[in-house]
Every structure is written in structure tokens, then in C-alpha cells.
Structure 1
Amino acid sequence: MDIQHYPSDLKVLLNGMFHELDNIGRSTAGVYRYYNDKVSYYLKIQPTFNELEKEHEIMEWLQHKLPVPRKIYFKSYDGFDYLLMTKIEGEMLCSDYFLNNPEEAVRLLADGIKMLQSISIEDCPFDNSLETKLKEALYNMENNLVDMSDWEENNRFDTPIELLEYLRNNKPKESTPAFTHGDYCLPNIFSKDNKISGFIDLGRSGIADIYQDIALCVRSLKHNFGTDDYIDLFFKHLGIQPNWEKIEYYILLDELF
């Protein structure tokens, strides 16, 4: 989107900065990097339907709890949401370095999940339980927000409604609730100095079964490394045995997002 269409106060904030399109990851938002010799910001622009509004609220709640971006600016304007935030230091876990060092990436991915799960959910206002997720999935389906061209090759369902009915009728028992990222894949996790340095794309974060993140991480490992070889190592670092029923369920659920 051309800067001339931005809200006037946002144009003032970005005046004189260089910019470039950021096309890494699977975000449905337009993402732009704005920078000069002093600072670097990221701007997400998305048609207004609450996800960016929720993302900036989650980021604010997570300040001093997790390494996440800091909101600089948020506004809904002329049918679009605009979220400007600080840059996370480090490299994405899908960078060339980590793709060439998969065992290090797997350890860090497990560390990131443990960091998320360490957050107290006692006062967390963000509910991502299956009941909530299935309602959001229905909204996405009814508003033509489901992209079937992006479905997994082994998805056995012909239509979103057929998949949604299966998910409604085959809900696994939710156990071990924790704070979850909601879209836990390699492009959304950063590392610096051999440890997790930050998390981005937080609009789907909230309280859910731990397998919300574990399942999407398993999928991301397969996609990024082109093999299942590192799945056992991932679960070894987590210190748990995989529940494949839940992994399949949460991967299918994500097809509607």
C-alpha cells in the first residue's frame, strides 16, 4: 500500500524513512520494514477484522513477560488496521544459518515453547480454547477467509465446511492449558547469542492446550527441513511423548486460519 493512503499521523512518524516489503512467513497482512540510520520498525497493514487489534493488545500484555515487539502506533483507518512496532533482534529460525544447523534450531524451538508455557495464565485475558477457535474458524469460512490452495497435500477434506464439521465432532480432550503462541512456526521465532531473542506474529496467542503450538511446530519442522528426522529430537528436548492424535487435529484446525 502506498504511504499516501496511510493515516496522517502515521505518515508523520515515518516521514523520511526508507522502506521495503517483507515477504517472509505466511502472514495475511502486508508487512513493511521502515528504517533509517538510527531505528528500524515493522509496519503491518491488514483489512480491519480485529486480528491486528488483538495482536497489539497481546504485545502490550506480554511486555516484561516475553521478548516481543513494542507497539509504536496502532490505528484503524478507512477499512484497514495499521500496527507499527519495534524490530526483534536476532535471526529467524528459518534463516540459512539455522536451516544448515537443524539440531540447534530444534533445541531453540523447544526452548521457545518452554518460555511460552512458563508464563502465568492466571490473569491472561486471551482465550484460545477449542470452543473459541472453532467459532473463529466458522467466521473465517463464512467470510471467505479460508485459502484452500494453502492446505496441506495430505488434507483429505474437499471443502472447509466438511473439515469444520469433522473438527467439531472429533474434538480431543483439552489438557495442560498454557499460554501459546498460536502460530508457532520457524519464521515467527528469533534467536541471538544461542538463545531465544523474540517472538512475532502474536495475533493468535492465548490460553490453549499445549498441542496448539507443538502441532504447528511439528508441521513447520517438516516444511522447513523437508524431513521428519528431527521430530524425535524435538520431543526429546520437550521431555514428553508425542500425542499424534492431537498433532493431526491442531494441524487440521489451522487449515481454517
Structure 2
Amino acid sequence: MNSNRFPAGMKLVKQLEGGSTASIFLVKDEQEQLCVLKGAVKTDESKSLKHDFWVYEWLAGKVPVPAVHFFKEDDTIEWLCIEWIDGTTLAELPVAEQRVRIYAQALRLLHEVPLDSHAPVYSLDARLNEVRIRIENGWVDSTDFEEEFSNYTTEQLWDELSKYKPTEADLVFTHGDYCPDNLILDDGVVSAFIDMDWGGVADRYQDLALAIRSLKHESLDNLIPLFLHNYGLTYLDENKLLFYTLLDEFF
């Protein structure tokens, strides 16, 4: 994205890496304060930054999230500017047991936020509709599937996903992409949940599945019981766990 089209007063410091369709920049505002600026060209494939804006605004004062400086849009581009949070990510914490405890306790904190009629919702039907759109437009990269699903075609994986669709939802406010890189720490304490593009009211297993998958990726399977204890869960619904793990393969 061309930085010459930045909103007035923004000075580019450097471009940051991001896993979404948005371009992400570290900038300074007119008061020389560091901010994170996300920009996205409006396309059928891109996810609206307006959703991020709603999520951060609704969570403000409930759990630690970056403050929103502004959201702007025109016919072609959206801009979201949020506070820069200094610190390290949870993924950088060297002691595995401490990392897992914080990971679980932070998720419990988020999931315990009381819901109201203004909470942004990310319903399962909406998410599944996005999957079908992505499949039909060829936007799903089957070469990036987890190893255990690497022999599936996109349609075969959709059929497998459909077998496990839950009939009931345990609704909480979810992060949507709950991984250690999306938690910022200050002296071992969570100072911000970040990158909440997929956040919203959804089944708690949306986050639990990705958290447990992250632990497996780090070869920390032996610490999954520690995670569940600190989260406060004594029983895992294996069908929901598989469903939400499969669902993430399409994004």
C-alpha cells in the first residue's frame, strides 16, 4: 500500500509484518507519539477494519487492549490507527510453564467479560459463509493445511468440517486468533490483547482450539493439562475442538 496516501499528520517509521490482508505500519502522529496504522484496500477478499475498530472500542475498559486513535474510510481504503503498546509477546517468554499459565489465565479473563447487546458478534453461520465464499473463489491455500490434513482437497476438508458442526454454542467474547504472538506483556503481566481481526461473540472453543494447537506446535502437549487447569476447564469437548481446528484451516 502506498504510504503517500496516509491520513494527514502520519509519519512512517517502518512497515510491520502482519498475517492479514491489511498493511501494517509503525507511525508517529502529529504529537510524535508512536501508533500502529492499519490500511486495507476494500476488496471482496479483504476483511473490514471497521470490525477491528468495533472490537477494540467495545473491549476498552474491560480488558487491556490498545486505545483507538481513529478509524477512517473512503470508497476504496480503510484506515485504523491504534495505540502502540511497548513490551514483549507471550511467545518470547522463556519459561514454558509460566508462559502456559499466563496464556490460560488471559483467555479466561477475556472469556469472562460480560456480554451485552452492543458486543460485536462473529456468528458461526457468518464464519461458515465466509468459508464457502473463500472456497468458491479459490482463496483457500490447501498447500498450507496442517500436516494431518495435507492429503485433503479443499472440498474434502469442507465435508470433514461439516460432520462436526456443533449443535449448541457456549457463547463468550472470543479473540478469534488466540496465539502467543497476540498477547503483549509488560514485566510478565498482560498489557494488551492485539490483532483482534476475528474477535467477537462466538463459542469459547474458537479460542480453545487455537490455543491448544499452539501448544502442540511448540511441543508442549504435556502442559495442556496445566493450561486447562489455569483456564478452569475440567472437560474437553473433542468434537468441538476438532471442528474449530478444522475451521481455521480455511483462513
- TM interval, shorter chain, is 0.7 to 0.9
User: For residue 107 of structure 2, what is the amino acid of its counterpart?
Assistant: I
Instruction: Report the secondary structure of 1:85's partner residue.
Output: strand
Please list the CA deviations of residues 114-161 of structure 1 after superposition, one character each: whole Å capped at 9, or x if unmatched: 111111113244222322221121122233332323221111563323
Count of residues in correspondence between the two structures = 246
Map of 1:13 onto structure 2: 9
- The percent identity for this pair of structures is 33
My pick for the range that moved more, 51-60 or 69-78, is 69-78
Map of 1:154 onto structure 2: 148
Q: Does the aligned pair in 1 maintain the 2:164–2:242 contact within 8 Å?
A: no
Q: Does the aligned pair in 2 maintain the 1:188–1:199 contact within 8 Å?
A: yes
User: For residue 226 of structure 2, what is the amino acid of its counterpart?
Assistant: L
Taking the aligned partners of 2:23 and 2:144, their CA distance within structure 1 comes to 17
Which of 20, 24, 32 is residue 31 of structure 1 equivalent to? 24
User: For residue 236 of structure 1, what is the amino acid of its counterpart?
Assistant: H
Seen in structure 2, the aligned counterparts of structure 1 residues 161 and 190 have a Cα distance that, compared at 3 Å, is: same
Q: Does the aligned pair in 2 maintain the 1:35–1:41 contact within 8 Å?
A: yes
Instruction: Report the secondary structure of 2:240's partner residue.
Output: helix
Map of 1:140 onto structure 2: 134
Instruction: Report the secondary structure of 2:147's partner residue.
Output: coil
Seen in structure 2, the aligned counterparts of structure 1 residues 141 and 76 have a Cα distance that, compared at 3 Å, is: farther
Q: Does the aligned pair in 1 maintain the 2:54–2:120 contact within 8 Å?
A: no
Over the aligned positions, Cα root-mean-square deviation in angstroms equals 2.2
Instruction: Report the secondary structure of 1:146's partner residue.
Output: coil
Map of 1:235 onto structure 2: 228
Map of 2:124 onto structure 1: 130
Q: Does the aligned pair in 1 maintain the 2:175–2:196 contact within 8 Å?
A: yes
Taking the aligned partners of 2:213 and 2:41, their CA distance within structure 1 comes to 27
Seen in structure 2, the aligned counterparts of structure 1 residues 66 and 227 have a Cα distance that, compared at 3 Å, is: closer
Please list the CA deviations of residues 211-242 of structure 1 after superposition, one character each: whole Å capped at 9, or x if unmatched: 1101101112222x234232121112112133
Seen in structure 2, the aligned counterparts of structure 1 residues 74 and 174 have a Cα distance that, compared at 3 Å, is: same
Q: Does the aligned pair in 1 maintain the 2:142–2:150 contact within 8 Å?
A: no
Structure 1 unaligned blocks of 5 or more: none
Map of 2:54 onto structure 1: 57
- How far 1:28 moved relative to its partner? 3.3
Correspondence list, 1:82-231, <5 A? 82-95=79-92, 98=93, 100-155=94-149, 158-223=152-217, 225-231=218-224
Taking the aligned partners of 2:41 and 2:153, their CA distance within structure 1 comes to 24
Q: Does the aligned pair in 1 maintain the 2:164–2:240 contact within 8 Å?
A: no
Map of 1:248 onto structure 2: 242
Map of 1:2 onto structure 2: 2
Structure 2 unaligned blocks of 5 or more: none
Taking the aligned partners of 1:210 and 1:177, their CA distance within structure 2 comes to 6
Map of 2:70 onto structure 1: 73
Seen in structure 2, the aligned counterparts of structure 1 residues 175 and 197 have a Cα distance that, compared at 3 Å, is: same
Taking the aligned partners of 1:27 and 1:92, their CA distance within structure 2 comes to 18
